[in-house]
Amino acid sequence: MVLDSKTTKQINDFIYLKPRTVAEVAAFIEKNWRTADRYLKKISEEEGSISLRTFREGSPGALKIAFWNNIEKIHSTSFQNKLFKQIEQGRSKKDFSPFDIYQYVDEKNRNAFLEYRTDKTITVNQNLIGFLRSATHEILHFSGNNSWINLSENNHELLAVAEELAKNGIKIKIISRVEITGLENIRKLLAINERIGKEMIEIRHCYQPLRGFVIDNKEARFREEIDSKSYKDEEFKGEKAVFYEINDDEWVDWLRKIFFNLYRTSISAVKRIEDMKTIHKINH
């Protein structure tokens, strides 16, 4: 049984009112327990609107609860609230620095390094391919124009790696600009779905300031470009970038919620591209 948009909305609305057991959801949508459980997992993984938690797991009295991931739960502290508002209001990468998140993470659960930036290759220090391949089920990507797919690392093209991951069942969700200029990168990514025969890569249009990945709700990595023109110091001449790595459970979970908050309120790239096709060219 395929989960359609109508049933998804019904389930979301039902859980929005208060937490529900899987049995309650099953009765509400008039399906069996297994189908309801599968639907809940799909909504949790693909929309992030709900979360699932099992109490007394492994015991005869185990109880699985679905609850709403509302906006209030995104931030548990005043500074997380402030960061969220800055991210939500940002439109370009110049509007927010990942360091503002990094500075709050415990030193044991973070790492950062500065290096010269190249437009054609990924350095050994970055090990982006290894980072992406560590995913077991989900990659969330905060992007600008998806230019990363045109890069390579150790003679391995990132676009080919994305296809490899999709073939292996890794869901890749992306929020990025979907504009008339720069559609080629999006077409390359969406073409992977056609080649492998299933929709593993989803892209939605969103102006947002972060550039980075969240892997399996366990690790996040962000990139910040250093504009040498903004510094008089000789050390900052040339193109450089800072890479921030975060593996703190609480902060990675927070970043995942940020992603899905932006993702849920953004329009599908496929729909936006179809709408762009209605723009007529007029020659004078």
Q: What is the mean pLDDT of residues 134-140?
A: 95
Indicate the DSSP class of residue 204.
E
Break the chain into its structural domains and give their ranges.
Answer: 5-69, 75-276
**Do the beta carbons of residue 225 and residue 93 sit within 8 Å?**
yes
At 243, is the pLDDT very low, low, confident or very high (cuts 50, 70, 90)?
very high
In order of 21, 55, 62, 87, 147, the CA distances from 59 in angstroms are: 16, 9, 5, 42, 48
Could you tell me the pTM of the whole model?
A: 0.78
* CATH code linked to domain 75-276: 3.30.870.10
In one letter, which amino acid is 98? Answer: P
**What pLDDT is attached to residue 73?**
54
Q: From the centroid of its chain, how far is CA 10?
A: 24
Number of Cβ within 10 Å of residue 140's Cβ equals 24
At 47, is the pLDDT very low, low, confident or very high (cuts 50, 70, 90)?
confident
* CATH code linked to domain 5-69: 1.10.10.10
**What pLDDT is attached to residue 25?**
94
